[in-house]
């Protein structure tokens, strides 16, 4: 161990000076990334998210509320990461040798309404550059989240432990300044003894957050590989830790998952199943993933006894620009809203000049880097809430509306009218300039 420590000491010495200068900034960014606002607004105390229910359809505040002391009243305290005990997992990844994978409660099609453009091809993450290209633009996320459970009786919670993720019915998500994640527990486990797909998805997102966080902690070896982060690797490590918990606690479950990680101007995406992610630039989709389905009503999923693995995820690497809007959601969003519906909500909340190429770009005189005009502001929290509420309206309407789910069901020979009742989770992030900081320069 000492030999291994000495091997990495030169790297730590080189990075320590920059790290110490930016520690205050880094700690604040880490706290800000743990703020999760949902349709039921959430605050954080020492035990995790505390959820407050608001009256239906009341719009959220455009900006966070501020306490009289001048401190952000939504800022969370540092949460501990519970470490699961190391235990043996059965060869097939199941609990007690049990092998089972489920179809979802409804029947989505494997076709997405808008498939990926031809110039966004799958790429193995082994080809990522390991260079810390300081000449490339450095970005971060400003983000918002809204989650609406299928049944109001289901509380949005943190699973009773100090988890970094927020649960909404069987959905779960996390938001950070550099990454987003959403998972959707497969409802077909209902009625199976010891099944808990909601807890399974929530723990998967919790561990994904914790694994990403290691790349910003100088005490972990991952700190030296900050730019090499691989979303499939994050998903694999998180899945392993959830299986360990499932084995010890005797629970069963499975979920779909989608992770998006930002490094400089590169967005790295891993999607397994029927969650969705899209990138909007100047008012139009430049990217939309295609969901993964084995067959009708049978999405790819990872869980106890499932044959699918994190390595089966679709992988994308996309160059992003300042002002790009990323929308990440569970199938409760994309089964109820067409892409043009999502764009309409974005257009309603984004200043018109930002939808015109080049109209809002300015250049910093100090750095020479492009920046968004400060007169124009995009509020991702307002956008996420607006999109989620519209999806909910469609999900509750069965007579006078159409939906992507209805279209796909009819293509497969099933009659269905209207939207699909489901948990709805919407994450919206805006690519923003990384303010001058010595953290990793």
For 360-412, the pLDDT digits (tens) are 455 544 455 555 555 468 999 999 999 999 999 999 988 778 999 999 888 88
> What pLDDT, on a 0 to 100 scale, did the predictor assign at position 110?
37
| Segment 7-34 mean pLDDT | 41
Q: Give the whole-angstrom CA distance, residue 128 versus residue 139.
A: 17
> What pLDDT, on a 0 to 100 scale, did the predictor assign at position 335?
95
Q: What is the b/e burial string over 57-66, where b = at least 16 CB atoms within 10 angstroms of the residue's CB?
A: eeebeeeeee
264 has a pLDDT exceeding 80: yes
> What pLDDT, on a 0 to 100 scale, did the predictor assign at position 88?
34
| Segment 246-267 mean pLDDT | 96
> What pLDDT, on a 0 to 100 scale, did the predictor assign at position 279?
99
| Segment 99-106 mean pLDDT | 50
Of the pLDDT bands very low, low, confident and very high (cuts 50, 70, 90), residue 358 is low
Q: Rg of the chain over CA atoms, in angstroms?
A: 21
Describe the crossing of helices 23-33 and 2-21 by its angle, rounded to 10 degrees.
90
Least confident of 155-164, 278-287, 346-355: 155-164
Q: What is the largest CA-CA distance in the chain?
A: 69
Domains of the chain: 22-48+137-433 (3.60.40.10)
For 158-180, the pLDDT digits (tens) are 555 689 999 999 999 999 999 99
* pLDDT above 90 coverage of the chain, percent: 51
Residue 271: strand pairing partners? 258, 314
Both tokens assigned to 267: 């967005």
Q: Give the whole-angstrom CA distance, residue 349 versus residue 416.
A: 32
Both tokens assigned to 180: 């987003």
Of the pLDDT bands very low, low, confident and very high (cuts 50, 70, 90), residue 9 is very low
Nearest to 146 by CA among 380, 401, 414, 399: 380
Nearest to 305 by CA among 192, 149, 153, 400: 192
SS3 content of the chain, % helix, strand, coil (to 5): 30, 25, 45
Q: Give the whole-angstrom CA distance, residue 198 versus residue 160.
A: 12
> What pLDDT, on a 0 to 100 scale, did the predictor assign at position 91?
38
For 208-248, the pLDDT digits (tens) are 999 999 999 999 999 999 999 999 999 999 999 999 999 99
The structure's pTM equals 0.69
> What pLDDT, on a 0 to 100 scale, did the predictor assign at position 415?
87
1 has a pLDDT exceeding 90: no
User: How many C-beta atoms surround the C-beta of residue 95 within 10 A?
Assistant: 23
Work out the mean pLDDT of the chain and round it to a whole number: 74
Q: Give the whole-angstrom CA distance, residue 111 versus residue 408.
A: 8
Of the pLDDT bands very low, low, confident and very high (cuts 50, 70, 90), residue 125 is very low
For 25-84, the pLDDT digits (tens) are 444 344 344 434 444 444 444 444 545 444 444 444 443 333 333 333 333 333 333 333
For 303-312, the pLDDT digits (tens) are 998 999 999 9
| Segment 14-29 mean pLDDT | 41
């Amino acid at each position: 161990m000492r030999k291994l420590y000495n091997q990495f000491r030169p790297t730590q010495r080189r990075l320590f000076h920059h790290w110490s200068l930016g520690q205050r900034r880094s700690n604040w960014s880490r706290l800000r990334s743990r703020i999760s606002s949902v349709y039921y607004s959430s605050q954080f105390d020492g035990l995790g998210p505390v959820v407050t229910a608001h009256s239906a359809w009341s719009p959220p505040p455009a900006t966070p509320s501020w306490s009289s002391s001048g401190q952000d009243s939504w800022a969370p305290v540092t949460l501990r990461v519970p470490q699961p005990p190391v235990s043996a997992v059965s060869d097939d990844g199941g609990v007690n040798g049990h092998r089972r994978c489920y179809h979802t409660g409804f029947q989505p099609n494997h076709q997405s309404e808008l498939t990926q453009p031809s110039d966004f091809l799958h790429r193995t993450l082994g080809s990522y550059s390991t260079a810390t290209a300081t000449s490339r633009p450095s970005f971060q996320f400003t983000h918002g989240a809204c989650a609406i459970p299928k049944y109001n009786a289901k509380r949005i919670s943190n699973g009773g432990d100090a988890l970094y993720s927020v649960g909404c019915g069987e959905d779960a998500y996390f938001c950070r300044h550099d990454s987003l994640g959403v998972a959707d527990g497969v409802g077909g486990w209902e009625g199976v003894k010891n099944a808990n797909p909601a807890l399974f998805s929530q723990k998967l997102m919790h561990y994904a957050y914790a694994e990403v966080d290691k790349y910003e902690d100088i005490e972990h070896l991952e700190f030296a590989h900050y730019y090499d982060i691989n979303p499939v690797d994050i998903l694999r490590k998180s899945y392993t830790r959830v299986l360990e918990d499932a084995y010890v606690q005797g629970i069963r479950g499975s979920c779909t998952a989608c992770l998006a990680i930002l490094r400089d101007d590169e967005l790295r995406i891993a999607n397994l199943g029927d969650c969705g992610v899209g990138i909007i630039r100047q008012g139009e989709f430049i990217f939309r993933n295609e969901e993964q389905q084995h067959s009708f009503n049978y999405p790819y999923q990872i869980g106890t006894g499932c044959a699918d693995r994190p390595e089966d995820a679709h992988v994308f690497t996309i160059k992003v620009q300042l002002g790009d809007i990323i929308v990440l959601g569970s199938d409760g969003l994309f089964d109820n809203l067409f892409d043009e519906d999502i764009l309409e909500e974005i257009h309603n909340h984004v200043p018109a000049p930002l939808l015109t190429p080049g109209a809002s770009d300015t250049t910093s005189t100090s750095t020479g880097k492009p920046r968004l005009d400060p007169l124009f502001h995009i509020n991702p929290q307002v956008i996420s809430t607006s999109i989620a509420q519209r999806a909910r309206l469609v999900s509750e309407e069965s007579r006078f509306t159409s939906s992507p789910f209805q279209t796909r069901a009819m293509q497969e020979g099933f009659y269905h009218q209207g939207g699909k009742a489901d948990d709805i989770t919407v994450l919206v992030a805006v690519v923003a300039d990384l303010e001058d900081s010595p953290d990793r320069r």
